[in-house]
Amino acid sequence: MPSLGRLHLITDTRPGRDPLAVLRAVLPVAHTELVVQVRVEDTATDRQAYELTRQVLALCAPYQVPCLVNDRLHVALATDAAGGHVGADDLPVAAARKVLGPAAVLGATAREPASALAAVTAGASYLGVGPCRVTATKDGLPPPIGVTGVRAVVEAVDVPVIAIGGVTAADVPELRATGAYGVAVVGALSGATDPVRAAAELVRALTC
Ligand SMILES: Cc1ncc(COP(=O)(O)OP(=O)(O)O)c(N)n1
Ligand SMILES: Cc1nc(C(=O)O)sc1CCOP(=O)(O)O
Ligand SMILES: [Mg+2]
């Protein structure tokens, strides 16, 4: 399995957002550490998810940036994406691994050590751990687990931990100090006035 990038950009497909414009801006400055996760609204059709994934893959290919698909593993397979990400409402991790095969990147959401260990045992190659902070990007999340919660998961597993939920470049030093491998963001890039600068700051914080 190729080494995983430390900056995961999750597509923001809320109304009025342009995830491809953000990706175009970010790729030249962040490609060495970038992973793109295609995440669409639950109300989006499979066709919309498929088309967006193909567009993301076309932008990522010249930079050799891997693309993962959230939830919809059949879209990942149909587009030859590098893998997928699943959480509590999606296919169980072992089933997702069976669908994607042994070589794919498979992320799983974990919020505490016990489920994190179970996800790794079942075949997750990295964990998305959060929410670190309150976020306006997604409704219905449990209260933030903070840096302490991230550290508890890091100490329980031996796969990369990607911290998520309200993360900005300013949070990265503290998160890295827990042993977290990287971060996944929506708003820090999609909502930035200057996504190029925001991406450069994130990459610097993740690699310095
Ligand atoms: C890197 C990363 N971590 C966590 C999630 C959340 O996944 P999930 O819990 O399945 O929720 P949805 O994103 O599907 O709403 C993620 N997507 N990526
Ligand atoms: C999609 C998602 N999943 C989360 C989780 O904790 O499971 S937090 C989140 C949203 C991340 O967006 P932002 O960087 O704008 O906070
Ligand atoms: Mg999910």
Query: ipTM score here?
Result: 0.99
SS3 30: helix
- 46 marked as part of a ligand binding site: no
Residue 1 has pLDDT above 60, yes or no: no
d(CA 19, CA 58): 14
Query: What number of H helices and E strands is found in the chain?
Result: 9, 8
Asked if the bond preceding 102 is cis, omega within 30° of 0, the reply is: no
Residue nearest atom 12 in ligand 2 by C-alpha distance:
186
Check residue 111 and give left, alpha or beta (phi > 0: left; psi -120 to 50: alpha).
alpha
Residue 144 has pLDDT above 90, yes or no: yes
Which H or E run includes 203? Answer: helix 195-207
The CATH number, out of the four listed (3.40.50.12280, 3.20.20.70, 3.20.20.80, 3.30.70.100), of the domain defined by the range 7-207: 3.20.20.70
Residue 17 has pLDDT above 90, yes or no: yes
Tokens of 160: 């990369």
Compute the mean pLDDT over every residue in the chain, rounded to the nearest whole number.
97
Residues with CB under 6 A from ligand 2: 10, 109, 130-131, 135, 137-138, 141, 164-167, 185-188
Q: Which tens digits make up the pLDDT trace of 43-73?
A: 999 999 999 999 999 999 999 999 999 999 9
Nearest ligand to the C-alpha of residue 107? 1
- 38 marked as part of a ligand binding site: yes
Q: Is 0.80 surpassed by the pTM of this model?
A: yes
Which H or E run includes 4? Answer: none
CA 37 – ligand 1 centroid, Å: 10
